[in-house]
Amino acid sequence: MGNVPDNRPSPHFELKCRVDSTMLRPLREFVSNVARTLGFSEKQVGEIEICVDEACANAIEHAYPKTFEREFANGGRDLCIEVQYKNDELVVRVRDYGCGASEEMKSRLRDLNDYLASDQERYRGLGLYLMHKFMDRVTVQSSPGQGTTVEMTKVRK
């Protein structure tokens, strides 16, 4: 668009919640519904939906191990989803306040062949691979004990 000002609204959302995994559906569908409203194609909407779901599921499953449990009544987990849209880019930030992730996770972009070679009751480790596959940019910020923020950007096409 160059110097032409963009007169379309730049919506912004900040959703703080305490939830368990039953609420993954309303969370992922909220963000994908925002993307749909912004004119993303149904294919892109589906890709955004699964990436948001994976990031939120990770926050719920991995960020709060047993030692944190006591702080959260009734199995709820604190997380925050931020959504911003500007210049055809949807930025989604999923933040938790948990144990933080290792250096390994940050650089983790598991090869699909590793995944396929593993033999498990339920294969795991596809979440970050998937985010990198479906989003245009993914960054993970985390330090042990400080919680984790996954920032994902999708360009509308």
Partner 1 sequence: MKAFSFVSRELGDQKDAAMFDLRGYIDAHTVIEFERAVNASIDGGVKSLVLDLSGLSYISSAGIGAMMGLARKLSQRGGDLVLLSPTQKVFAILEGLGFTKIFKIASSETEALEKLNIKVS
The SS3 call for residue 30 is: helix
- Draw the binding track, 41-80, toward a copy of itself (x: CB under 8 A; -: no contact): --------------------------------xxxx----
- Give the H/E segment covering residue 59: helix 42-62
Tell me how far apart the alpha carbons of residues 92 and 82 are, in angstroms, rounded to a whole number. 6
- DSSP assigned state of 38: T
Binding flag, residue 12, a copy of itself (CB under 8 A) = yes
- Alpha-carbon distances of 90 from 12, 95, 99, 153, rounded to whole Å: 10, 16, 27, 6
Binding flag, residue 18, a copy of itself (CB under 8 A) = yes
Binding flag, residue 105, ligand ADP (CB under 6 A) = yes
Tell me how far apart the alpha carbons of residues 81 and 96 are, in angstroms, rounded to a whole number. 9
**Which residues 28-87 are close enough to bind partner 1 by CB under 8 A?**
28, 36-37, 42-43, 46-47, 49-50, 53-54, 57, 60-61
Span interacting with ligand ADP, options 12-20, 28-36, 51-59, 83-91, rule CB under 6 A? 51-59
Binding flag, residue 112, partner 1 (CB under 8 A) = yes
Tell me how far apart the alpha carbons of residues 131 and 153 are, in angstroms, rounded to a whole number. 10
Which residues are at the interface with ligand ADP (CB under 6 A)? 54, 58-59, 62-63, 96, 98-99, 101, 105, 108, 124-128, 148
